[in-house]
Structure 1
């Protein structure tokens, strides 16, 4: 009888320990799910008063100019886009006042599109922003933007531009640039010199 009770107690202890381990594994998943849900809700309810255009294709600037025309209160930041005179002409043709257009040519790539402007956006009191880039580029841009702009509490609302004939970017690019964004968060540097080397290593895996 004593042996039986001992085995029952041991079985109960093992069962409780197993439940405890399951709960410890489950808790981080719940927290992660809540964070993702919170970000999604913030993105849905956000009403940006500014747009960030990632330079690279003229179609992005034209799209942003039309968006600013339809929303007279919207200000637009263009990061390393087409030549200044051309961009100004696109927005002027759309009837967008020059003082609503902010041009910056300091960025060398997608990571620096964000890191060279985040201080200006924060100083302007921007809490949410439309992110305008090509659909095939949006995934990588959002990963970087969530790190860089998210560190200042700025919510991103993506507005991808569909363009035919352009392949989706590789996951390796997103991983490399996501890592560079995190590095910037802790050090203030984007490790541009490591970009190509890391990309080559990831593609070889």
Structure 2
């Protein structure tokens, strides 16, 4: 019991430390790079891809990064090509299994590209959760996001419970490098579960 209590105290202490450091890193990133350097689109919705392609028309100097399920990437590419976005401007990534892993699978890539500020494109109902995850995951890497909402038919944003759950998973990723995505029952029942377990995507 004492060991568990001690562990909880350590986790809380680290979480408090992180929550104080992340805003500082975000502020520095925004100060150094006030204008976004790339476009980041969350997948699973063709409308987001069409919106991003149109959004890019007035920002053609920027690369577009897409995080989607692997089996959607061919469709995503075709949509962007239809709008005149060349392959040279596209970075399509199929490693994600959910919204948290949309960010954790690409955080290192963004950092390696020295990106400090990116546009974040997703559906309006999804934006609150995505922005919260981005603040933790990308913020911990010194990357700030400017959110851009895609209008949808959904009338309400996602629940606070889902937001808090994924914030917790994001902190877990910072602490131990895993997000707990392997516990997702939908992933386990998916025909792609074996692929993900082999590639150790968390």
TM-score interval (norm. to shorter): 0.7 to 0.9
Correspondence for 1:111: 100
8 A contact 1:181–1:190 mirrored in 2? yes
8 A contact 2:125–2:154 mirrored in 1? no
Correspondence for 1:120: 109
Find the structure with the greater CA-based Rg. 1
Correspondence for 2:60: 72
Q: 1:135 to 1:194 in 2, by over 3 A?
A: same
Partner SS for 1:190? coil
1:102 pairs with 2:84: no
Cα offset for 1:186?
0.8
Correspondence for 2:51: 63
Q: Distance in 2 between matches of 1:179 and 1:50?
A: 27
Q: Distance in 1 between matches of 2:76 and 2:180?
A: 29
TM-score with structure 1 length normalisation?
0.71
Unaligned runs of 5+ in 2: 1-19, 186-202
- The answer to which structure has the higher helix fraction is 1
TM-score with structure 2 length normalisation?
0.72
Unaligned runs of 5+ in 1: 1-31, 197-205
Correspondence for 2:72: 83
Higher RCO by CA contacts (8 Å cutoff, separation 6 or greater): 2
Q: Distance in 1 between matches of 2:121 and 2:139?
A: 16
Correspondence for 1:46: 34
Cα offset for 1:76?
0.6
- Number of residue equivalences: 161
Cα offset for 1:195?
5.9
Cα offset for 1:113?
0.2
- CA RMSD, Structure 1 to Structure 2 (Å): 2.4
Q: Distance in 2 between matches of 1:189 and 1:183?
A: 6
Once the two structures are superposed, what CA deviation does each residue of 1:23-80 show, in whole Å capped at 9, x if it has no partner? Answer: xxxxxxxxx8xx59x85x939x721120111112111101111122221101111101
8 A contact 1:60–1:133 mirrored in 2? yes
Once the two structures are superposed, what CA deviation does each residue of 1:139-165 show, in whole Å capped at 9, x if it has no partner? Answer: 111111111100111111000112123
